[in-house]
A and B are shown apart, each in its own frame.
Chain A
Amino acid sequence: MFANFNSMKKVSFNIATICFLCFYLLVACTKFEEEIDIADIPGPYVVSSYLYPGMDTVKVYVHQAYSLNAQIQTGLIIPVENAEVLIANAQSGKLRLMYNPNDSTYAIDGNALRITAGQQYTLSVAIADHPLIESAVVVPFPNENFGIIKTDSNTSQYVKDYYFKAFINDSAGIQNNYQLFGTAEIETVCQTDTAVEITTEMSMIFDYSPLISDQTRDGQTFHQNADLSVFDRFYPYQCHSTALSINLKLIHLEGFTYTYLKALEDFDIALGDPFAQYVIVPSNLTNAQGVFGAYAVVEKEILWSELSK
């Protein structure tokens, strides 16, 4: 077929080949997407509440999920206003939470419903024409066995880097789940033309606060690395920064609360990634989605001068 080409035909052939390749690249690199319709059926009820010792107000969110097809801006909450929300506890008895339209929650004062570590609380939400929504949670005890040590430092022309290792000593024999947060308080002194200005700011020392479970490391010590950079600035004024203290906050999570928050984290990571396994966020409520969770917080402030190397 191509044996008897004259030169003109060859030129035409080459042009045709180039056009063909361009067309190929154009089509092959195009991503075709279209929006699809799915059945518009009412969504499940979603109930969310977290308890922790000493909380001022106990709040319960009750709302209804809506179809992906619904013309509703995501993030909008459709509150359920006519539910009967009760929380029961051996100490406080069964108490009803009242709906507050200002923040679309059912709430009760923390003095009336006192949240205490080690106590079990049961939640029930009654909505007309819907099976009773129920759940129970035991509020965990706070864990005070944690701290932080300075491991290294490095000084360059305009910056000082400090490296730390935070630790959590796990209690053996019971399931524990944690999340650790840390901030440093930094004081900056700037010499302006006319005055000395002193400002303080908080800087996070962990790039990321992972959810930690002792499921396979019961009774061990968990470590988390941290770092802090303190700058010396020369423009527009000569400024000098000093770290004053480290603030650590250890959140001790009840078992399902950990599972739920981990699933939310996984969901967030997997969103938009077509190759990731879809994440189904679990629920510990019967007849509804959401969570009835609990945790306990311990905060520690460690002065910079007390940080040992």
Chain B
Amino acid sequence: MRRSMLVLFLFLSCFSAQAQIKSCSISGLVRDAITGESLPGAHVFVQATNTGVITNNYGFYVLTLPPGDYILKISYVGYNPLELPFQLQKAERLDIKLNPSIELHEIEVKARMSQLQNPQMGILHIPMIQAASIPALMGEKDVLKAFQLMPGVQSGKEGTGGLFVRGGGSDQNLIILDDAVVYNANHLFGFFSLFNGQAIKEVSLIKGGFPARYGGRLSSVIDITMKEGDMSAYHGEAGIGLIASRIMFEGPIKAGKSSFMIAGRRTYFDLLSRPFLSENEQPAYFFYDLNLKTNFVLNEKNRLYISAFLGKDELNTRSSEHDIVNKMGLNWRNILANVRLNTLLSNGLFMNNTLVFSQYNSGYYLNQEDNHINKSYHIEHSNGLKDISLKSDFVLGAVPRHTIRFGSSLSYYQFMPRKIVLKNEFTNEYDNESESSQSGLLSFYIEDEFVYDKWMYNIGLRQNFYTSGKHWLVRAEPRITIGYLIGNKSSIKASFTMMNQFIHLMSSTGTMLPADIWLPATKSIQAQQSIQYSIGYEREFSRLKADFSLEAYYKTSSNVLTYRDGANFFFIDASNPPQQINWEANVTSGKAKAFGFEAMLHKKQGKLNGWLGYGWSKSSVRFNEINSGDWFPSDYDRRHDISIVLSYDFKPNRKVSASWTYMTGHPVTLPYHTSVAHKPYDFEGYTSPTSFINIDYYGERNNYRTDNYHRLDLALQLTKPLKHGERTWEIGVYNAYNHYNPFMYYVDNLYGTDKRILKKTTLFPFIPSITYVRKF
């Protein structure tokens, strides 16, 4: 704590010294010239001083410079770069409008120095236009799965959207949609992500060198920004795929003053399968999601954003025999809503206030009806989490070459780990019990981003005050990233970050099933903490219009959780009523460490674009109660990870793309031996020497490594301009050479015998897909 305060003091001293220099700030918003949408992540660069900044999530930039004449260079992928000469004598506001480029691949971007000069390291960014060309499972474009193809990000089970970043767990990713935290980002058990690509404007993933404005998770930050809506004209996009259809519509509410965007998606397994199923057996699954965003320009200085998201998955089955009707179902749901007010307090000071509501619920039910005697049995299990947060963020550019960000967030969490409703009319048994707990987190942060000549740094501090019942925690998180420009084509960077995570996900499967439950850190299950050191090299290849990055990291984590051997949350029966379940007794905490390096050549523009990535990593964990307290490989420890993603525009409106990925197998726990286990008595309670069951002996945890994984996906996009808009047919193939990748390993009985055997299951062989998209 003292050390953190010292660091803070040092950089504030530096800040005040710099403030003595006479300077003026130029600030404003970078927007799309046609739609009026803000452009987050645009590069704003001043050649004369060799300084630049990247716009924030609202398109805001601020530069503080000595008075003089300058040329401002602004660039953004997919837009024509702009050069604006201006004279700076006093603090000025300069809003910038960029025109979308008609021929994206022919643009030469001149103002790229700011990328090298951005002290942020460990960031992955995929332009949405590039994400849309990556081949996808069943043609469903998915930005989270696109990240799985990048080095440093491991995928979980085949086809699922779980992200395991630099040895971290899937719960250690902070997924933010328009400032609202998403607690379950999966549809269909993880095979598709919650995010409809049509509604997304910008997405980035940070895996190291976290700025102080982000906190609450150990491994990564995935920041997703929804489209705001066109302020000048109405547009839309509709798509029909094999499993789902989607539509997006946007336009002005009042031209130039306000706009809206609405997007929805729904699967139709349930509707299509209904005619083929008998009345007695009717499984039905569907998911849908709905994105809504509006924004209002209140005046020159204020802009209001209101966004909402609703996503739901539901599986219901029904079977009947004579008078007995059995129903079973499970569901999970995310509701997000937020209101944000952007204010330009003065030239050079930007403020954003956000009120966020995020709710996640999941549950399952069983129902049996006996229509002969008109009685029923019904049991429901559910769990959930509510998060209400108030955030204030400021960006200040009062000192030359410095951008100061500071702010606070106050979050209230309400956890409901278990609710059980029982109605048993057969035995006149009724029960309605639930558990709940609350926790709160107050965080303050300050960070200074500084660029001077060849040096750059981002120094920050995040201070957390956490409470759960009578348990209090005060944790400081210092963050430092330092960079140095080598020539004008490359830079080296190094970072140190400390992160804390105050909520835990109790997951039995890693697939975010309804049995996975969020719980607060408590006195006995402490908050997780990590420290990451990373060092990197970046180089820009102007002629290739590509960037090369090489990063190495070392990360240690403490208080990471896992199940104790034999723990079982999933099966709740009469012997485990909610008041008897002791969550803390089912888990154990330990340490984790991960290290590795990642190399990536990323070409974001041109007829031929894509990336080549390679990652080498090793991650291991240690728990006193597991594997004799020795270090052992973590669940998604994969040594090698290679990805090649290429997209080629071979003719106007004709595009072919391919992605190939290779990953070393990951550890799983498998039984090696089998035998019988004697029971003392039979199921009626009579002492029986012959009562036994066959059981398997697992030995050590994560004792087996799965087969290596590799897959080639291909896609062909055929676009045709129409009188109003355009239409695109996409024909794709997932797993083109039909490699049997492992989905899971399990023990089964050999057909027709009692002999136990180990089996590997492949879920997705060669799968073709066809999708139709119409833009209007």
Contacts and interface: CB of A to CB of B under 8 A. Distances in A.
A282 interface: yes
A181 interface: yes
B765 A27 contact: yes
Contact of A251 (B676, B681, B759): B681
A198 B755 CA distance: 45
Given A33-B762, A43-B675, A276-B570, A38 B427 contact: no
A9 to B, nearest CB: 15
A58 B237 CA distance: 77
Query: Which of A64, A208, A267, A280 has the most chain B CB atoms inside 10 A of its CB?
Result: A280
Nearest to A71: B755
Nearest to A257: B680
Contact of A34 (B569, B678, B760, B766): B760
A20 to B, nearest CB: 7
A263 B568 CA distance: 9
Contacts of B694: 74-75
Interface in B423-443: 424, 426-429
Interface string B476-518: 0000000000000000000000000000000011010100000
Interface stretch (A85-93, A211-219, A237-245): A211-219
Nearest to B626: A280
Contacts of A44: 673, 697
B720 A3 contact: yes
B758 interface: yes
Instruction: With a 10 A CB-CB cut-off, give which of B574, B582, B678, B718 has the most chain A CB atoms.
Output: B678
A296 to B, nearest CB: 11
A274 interface: yes
Interface string A290-304: 110101010000000
Contacts of B509: 275-277
Contacts of B681: 251
Contact of B566 (A17, A38, A263, A293): A263
Contacts of A163: 427-428
A77 interface: yes
Contacts of B675: 43, 46, 63-66, 77, 289
Nearest to B744: A274
A67 B568 contact: no
A273 to B, nearest CB: 8
Contacts of B746: 272, 274
Interface in A232-282: 249, 251, 257, 259, 261, 263-264, 266-272, 274-282
A284 to B, nearest CB: 13
Contacts of B465: none
Contacts of A73: 753-755
A5 interface: no
A163 B375 CA distance: 14
Chain A interface mostly: mixed
A212 B695 CA distance: 22
Interface residues of A, number: 91
A259 to B, nearest CB: 8
A68 interface: yes
Given A43-B675, A272-B748, A280-B565, A33 B761 contact: yes
A140 B669 CA distance: 35
Contacts of B329: none
Contacts of B571: 266, 269-270, 276
A211 B575 contact: yes
Given A27-B765, A73-B755, A277-B563, A210 B573 contact: yes
Contacts of A179: 685
B407 to A, nearest CB: 40
Interface in B532-567: 563, 565-567
B769 interface: yes
Given A38-B672, A68-B696, A251-B685, A74 B745 contact: no
A229 to B, nearest CB: 10
B136 interface: no
A46 to B, nearest CB: 5
A227 B689 CA distance: 29
Interface string B671-711: 11111111111011101010001111110000010000000
Nearest to B698: A280
Interface string B737-776: 0001000111111000111111111110111111000000
B729 interface: yes
B271 interface: no
Contacts of A17: 770
Given A68-B757, A278-B669, A217 B579 contact: yes
Nearest to B580: A216
B427 A225 contact: yes
B188 to A, nearest CB: 13
A212 B575 CA distance: 6
A59 B689 contact: yes
A67 B756 contact: no
A35 B685 contact: no
Contacts of A34: 740, 759-760, 762
Interface in A14-46: 17, 20-21, 23-24, 27-28, 30-36, 38-39, 41, 43-44, 46
A259 B685 CA distance: 17
B373 interface: yes
A297 to B, nearest CB: 8
Interface string A52-73: 1000000101011111100111
Interface in B146-199: none
A287 B201 CA distance: 59
B508 A281 contact: no
A15 to B, nearest CB: 14
Contacts of B680: 50, 52, 257, 261, 293, 295
A38 B696 CA distance: 14
A209 B672 contact: no
A156 interface: yes
B53 interface: no
A151 interface: yes
Nearest to B586: A277
B759 A74 contact: no
B736 interface: no
A1 interface: yes
A204 interface: yes
Contacts of A257: 680
A28 B738 CA distance: 12
A299 to B, nearest CB: 9
B240 interface: no
Nearest to A39: B672
B521 interface: no
A77 B681 CA distance: 18
Given A75-B754, A277-B563, A181 B685 contact: yes
A264 B672 contact: no
Contacts of A279: 566, 568
Contacts of A274: 744, 746, 761
B638 to A, nearest CB: 19
25 contacts: A1-B720, A2-B729, A20-B770, A34-B760, A38-B758, A41-B672, A50-B680, A61-B678, A63-B675, A65-B697, A68-B671, A68-B673, A68-B747, A68-B758, A212-B575, A217-B579, A225-B427, A261-B679, A274-B746, A275-B508, A275-B509, A276-B509, A289-B675, A291-B677, A293-B680
> What 3 A-B pairs have minimum CB-CB distances, sorted nearest first?
A181-B685, A210-B575, A43-B673
Given A46-B677, A183-B684, A264-B679, 9 more contacts: A43-B674, A64-B675, A67-B672, A213-B580, A215-B582, A217-B579, A261-B680, A274-B761, A277-B509
